[in-house]
Amino acid sequence: MLKEMLIKNRSYRRYDAGFTVPEETLCELIGLARYINSSANKQALRFRPVCEAALREKLFAVTRWAKLLENYSGPQEHERPGGYIVICRDAAVWPNAATLEKDVGVAAAAITLGAVEKGLGCCMINNFSAQGCREALELPETLEPALVVAIGKPAEEIILEDAKTGGDTKYYRDENGVHHVPKLSLDKLII
Amino acid sequence: MLKEMLIKNRSYRRYDAGFTVPEETLCELIGLARYINSSANKQALRFRPVCEAALREKLFAVTRWAKLLENYSGPQEHERPGGYIVICRDAAVWPNAATLEKDVGVAAAAITLGAVEKGLGCCMINNFSAQGCREALELPETLEPALVVAIGKPAEEIILEDAKTGGDTKYYRDENGVHHVPKLSLDKLII
C-alpha cells in the first residue's frame, strides 16, 4: 500500500554509519527515477551515486541539516548516512533550471519511496552548497546540483502526529530523543 | 512493487470522459500528499479537488496539453479527464515560491502514484494560465496555482521505449494512435 510507504518515508537524520549502501543499490534507486514523468519528456536530470567513504565525508561537509532543531549541527559521525544520490540538472539538455524543480521533486519521491521498499531511509537535503558539492564530486560544469538525497539504514524513531490547532508545524525531538513531526489535518490542506 | 507503479504512472491525455472521479477519491489522493516530506515541514501546499462538470470545463480551458504533438490542441471532449487536483502554494505560509517547487513535485508524485493504485491515470500539467486557473476556481489571492493534475480513467495505450542512440526524447503517436515515450537508458542518467 502506497499510504504505508509514504508514512514510512520520513526524513531520517540518524543512520547506522556502519552500514554502507552498496553502489548497486543506489543505481537501482536511480533506475526507478528513469520511469518518472518528465517535463516535455526532456529527461534533463542526472544522478550521482556516492558510496565511497571519503567522498561521503566531503559531501557531508557541504550539507546543512535540520535547521529547525536548536543546538544541532547535523548527524554525528556514527549517525551519518551510508550513501547519497545527488540529483543534478543538466543545463546542456534544458537551460531553464526553474522548470525542472518539479521534476527534481518527482525524482526524489521515486528514489526515497524505493529506498523505503528496500528497508532503507532517506533525507532530502535542499540546504547545501551547490558549488561545494560540485567541487567535492568533481562534477562537470554543465551539471547543477539540485538536491542531495541522503540514504542509509535509519537509526532513529520518527513519529508523525497531528499538528495542534493554531498549528505550529515545527518538528522537534523529545526528551527521549524521539523525533516528532506535526502534520496538518486533511481539512487544512483542502481548499 | 514500486517499479511497476512508476511504469504504469504515465501522462495520460485521453480519458473516458463518461467517468467522473468522485470527490471522495480526489480527497483520498490529497490525503496521501499529507504525508510527504515537506521543506522545513512548513506544509505550505494546498489542494483543490475539482470534479463538478462545469468547473472541469472552465479549468480545462486554461490548460495547454502536449506541446510536442503536432496539430494537437489537447484531448477532445469525449477524452477529457473526469477530475483534477490543483496544487497551490500558500504564500501566507511560505512566500518563497521557488523553494516550494520541489515540494510540488513530491506531492504530485504521491497523488499520481495513488491514482495508479486506484486504477486511474493522471497527467501533470505545468503549462497553464495561473491567473485563468485562479479565476476559474475563485481561489483566494494568497494561493498561487503551481500545478494542475488531471485525473481520470485512461483511454489510451502508452508505451515506454528505449530512446535511440543520439537520443531524441520527443514523444509521439504512431499511425494506430498509440503514444510512445522514449526513455534514456540508465547509463545516460548516471554520472
Residues from chain B contacting residue A113 (CB–CB below 8 Å): 2, 109, 113
B32 to A6: CB separation less than 8 angstroms, yes or no: yes
Residue of chain B nearest A47, judged by CA positions: B190
C-alpha cell at B57: 470545463
pLDDT in tens, B140-177: 999 999 999 999 999 999 999 999 877 789 999 999 99
pLDDT band at A97 (very low <50, low <70, confident <90, very high): confident
Longest Cα pair distance anywhere in chain A, in angstroms?
Answer: 49
A43 to B183: CB separation less than 8 angstroms, yes or no: yes
pLDDT in tens, B13-71: 999 999 999 999 999 999 999 999 999 999 999 999 999 999 999 999 999 998 888 88
Residues from chain A contacting residue B27 (CB–CB below 8 Å): 186, 190
CA distance B71 to B78: 18
Stronger pLDDT, A108 or B70, i.e. the higher one:
A108
Q: Is residue A182 within 8 Å of B41, Cβ to Cβ? A: yes
C-alpha cell at A153: 539504514
Shortest Cα–Cα distance, A88 to chain B (Å): 9
pLDDT of residue B73: 87
CA distance B74 to B84: 15
Shortest Cα–Cα distance, B8 to chain A (Å): 9
Closest-CA residue to A122 (of A6, A12, A47): A12
Residues from chain A contacting residue B142 (CB–CB below 8 Å): none
Query: DSSP for A38-64?
Result: -GGG---EEEEEE-SHHHHHHHHTTB-
- Beta-carbon pairs below 8 A across chains A and B: 183
Beta bridge partners of B20: none
Q: Distance from CA of residue B9 to its chain's centroid? A: 10
CA distance B132 to A118: 43
Of B39, B99, B109, the CB nearest to A109: B109
Shortest Cα–Cα distance, B2 to chain A (Å): 7
A190 to B46: CB separation less than 8 angstroms, yes or no: yes
For chain A, the average pLDDT equals: 95
pLDDT in tens, A126-154: 999 999 999 999 999 999 999 999 999 99
Q: Which residues contact B14 (CB under 8 A, 6 or more apart)?
A: B75, B79, B154, B155, B156
CA distance B65 to B61: 11
Shortest Cα–Cα distance, A78 to chain B (Å): 24
Of B102, B126, B184, the CB nearest to A126: B102
Residues from chain A contacting residue B23 (CB–CB below 8 Å): none
Q: Select from A43, A116, A134 the residue whose CB has the most chain B CBs within 10 Å, as the one to mutate to test that interface.
A: A43
A113 to B34: CB separation less than 8 angstroms, yes or no: no
pLDDT band at B88 (very low <50, low <70, confident <90, very high): very high
Helix (H) or strand (E) holding A152: strand A143-152
B3 to A105: CB separation less than 8 angstroms, yes or no: no
pLDDT over 80 at A167, yes or no: no
Q: Distance from CA of residue B51 to its chain's centroid? A: 15
For chain B, the average pLDDT equals: 95
Shortest Cα–Cα distance, B32 to chain A (Å): 6
pLDDT in tens, A42-86: 999 999 999 999 999 999 999 999 888 888 889 999 999 999 999
